[in-house]
Structure 1
Amino acid sequence: MNPLAQDATAAAKRTGLLSNQIIINGGKPLRGRINVRGAKNLATKAMVAALLADTPSVLKDVPAISDVRVVTGMLEAYGVTVTETGDGELTLDPKNVLKAHFAKIDALAGSSRIPILFCGPLLHRLGEALIPDLGGCRIGDRPIDFHLDALRAFGAVVDKSYEGIRLTAPEGLHGANIDLPYPSVGATEQVLLTAVLAKGVTELKGAAIEPEIMDLIAILQKMGAIINVEPNRVIFIEGVEKLSGYHHRALFDRNEAASWASAALATGGDIFVEGAKQQELMNFLNIYRKVGGAFDIAEDGIRFWHPGGPLKPVVVETDVHPGFMTDWQQPLIVALTQAEGRSVVHETVYENRLGFTSALIEMGANIVVHEEGLESISRRVPRRPLEQAAVIIGPTPLHGADVEIPDLRGGFSHLIAALTADGQSTVSNIGIIARGYEHFVDKLETLGADFIYEG
Structure 2
Amino acid sequence: MDRIKIVGGNQLNGTIPISGAKNAALPLMIAALMTDETLTLENVPHLADVEQLIRILTNHGVDYSVNGRREEQSQRYSRTIHFTARNIVDTTAPYELVSKMRASFWVIGPLLARMGQARVSLPGGCAIGTRPVDLFIDGLKALGADIDIDNGYVNATARNGLVGNRYVFPKVSVGATHVLMMAAAMAKGQTVLENAAREPEVVNLAECLNAMGARISDAGSSTIVIDGVDRLSGAQHRVIPDRIETGTYAMAVAMTGGDVLLEGARADILESALDTISQTGAEITQVNSGIRVRRNGSGINPVDVTTEPYPGFPTDLQAQFMGLMTRARGRSKITETIFENRFMHVQELARLGARISLSGQTATVDGVENLRGAPVMATDLRASVSLVIAGLAAEGETMVHRVYHLDRGFERLEEKLAHCGAQLERVGE
TM-score by length of 1: 0.88
- 2:79 counterpart of 1:97: no
**Residue 403 (structure 2) pairs with residue 454 (structure 1):** no
Distance 1:269 1:232 in 2: 37
Matched, 1:240 2:229: yes
Greater CA deviation, 236-245 or 293-302? 293-302
Partner of 2:207, secondary structure, is: helix
**Hey, what does 1:405 align to over in structure 2?**
378
Instruction: Report the residue type matching 1:91 in the other structure.
Output: H
The answer to whether the 8 A contact 1:223-1:245 is kept is: yes
On the 8 A contact 1:29/1:264 being kept in 2, the answer is: yes
Aligned to 1:61, what secondary structure does the other structure show? Answer: strand
Q: Please, which runs of 5 or more residues in structure 2 have no aligned partner?
A: 70-78
Q: Which amino acid aligns with 1:426?
A: M
Q: Matches of 2:183 and 2:141 in 1, distance apart?
A: 11
Structure 1 contact 364–396 (Cα < 8 Å) conserved = no
1:418 lines up with 2:391 in the alignment: yes
**1:24 equivalent in structure 2:** 6
Q: Say whether residues 1:337 and 2:319 are aligned partners.
A: no
Q: Distance in 2 between matches of 1:209 and 1:133?
A: 25
- Are 2:182 and 1:182 equivalent residues in the alignment? no
Q: Which runs of 4+ in 1 moved over 6 A?
A: none
How many angstroms apart in 1 are the aligned matches of 2:399 and 2:304? Answer: 31
Stretch moving more, 177-186 or 308-317: 308-317
Residue 430 of structure 1 is matched in structure 2 by 403
Query: How far off its partner does 1:426 sit?
Result: 1.6
Whole-angstrom CA distance in 2 between matches of 1:124 and 1:357 = 42
Question: 1:311 pairs with 291, 300, 316, which one?
Answer: 300
Contact 1:36 1:275 (C-alpha < 8 Å) held by counterparts: yes
Distance, in Å, in 2 between the alignment partners of 1:177 and 1:409 is 35
Offset at 1:174?
0.9
Deviation at 1:411, TM superposition (A): 0.7
How many Å apart are 1:364 and its aligned residue? 0.8
Cα distance 1:101–1:326, how it changes in 2: closer, same or farther (>3 A)? closer
CA distance in 2: counterparts of 1:175 and 1:20, whole angstroms? 48
Alpha-carbon deviations, 1:32-66, whole Å to 9, x = none?
21111211111111011111123111100000011
Q: Which residue is 2:104 aligned to?
A: 115
1:350 is aligned with what amino acid?
F
Partner of residue 138, structure 2: 149
Write out per-residue CA displacement over residues 380-429 of structure 1, whole angstroms, 9 at most, x where no aligned residue.
Answer: xxxxxxxx111111233111111110111111101111221111122111
Whole-Å separation in 2 of the counterparts to 1:450 and 1:228 = 47
Matched, 1:85 2:76: no
Conservation of the 8 A alpha-carbon contact between 1:254 and 1:281: yes
Deviation of residue 296 (structure 1)? 2.4
User: Are 1:44 and 2:54 counterparts?
Assistant: no
Query: Percentage identity across aligned positions?
Result: 37
Deviation at 1:232, TM superposition (A): 6.4
Deviation at 1:233, TM superposition (A): 1.2
**1:221 partner amino acid:** N
Q: Which sections of structure 1, spanning at least 5 residues, go unmatched?
A: 1-18, 372-387
**Shift of residue 231 of structure 1?**
9.2
**How many angstroms apart in 2 are the aligned matches of 1:56 and 1:38?**
20
Task: Provide the C-alpha distance between the structure 1 equivalents of 2:199 and 2:113, rounded to a whole number of angstroms.
Answer: 26
C-alpha contact 1:265 1:305 (8 A) present in aligned 2: yes
Q: 1:142 to 1:308 in 2, by over 3 A?
A: same
Written as runs of structure 1 = structure 2, the 5 A alignment for 1:28-427 is: 28-87=10-69, 88-99=79-90, 105-162=94-151, 164-229=153-218, 233-371=222-360, 388-427=361-400
Distance 2:41 2:419 in 1: 27
User: Take 2:14 and 2:383, find their aligned partners in 1: how far apart are those partners?
Assistant: 23
Other-structure match for 1:16: none
CA distance in 2, matches of 1:231, 1:450: 40
> Is the 1:54–1:242 contact (alpha carbons within 8 Å) kept by the matching residues of 2?
no
Q: In 1, Cα distance between the equivalents of 2:405 and 2:41?
A: 24
Closer, same or farther in 2 for the Cα pair 1:73/1:247, shift >3 Å? same
Q: In 1, distance between residues paired with 2:173 and 2:109?
A: 17
Q: Which amino acid aligns with 2:428?
A: E
Scaled by the length of structure 2, the TM-score of the pair is: 0.94
**In the TM superposition, what is the alpha-carbon distance from 1:156 to its structure 2 partner?**
1.6
Residues of 1 paired with 2:222 and 2:114: CA distance?
Answer: 29
Q: Supply the distance in 2 between the matched residues of 1:310 and 1:400 (Cα, whole angstroms).
A: 20
What is the RMSD computed on CA atoms of the aligned residues?
A: 1.7
Give me the whole-angstrom Cα distance separating, in 2, the residues matched to 1:117 and 1:61.
21
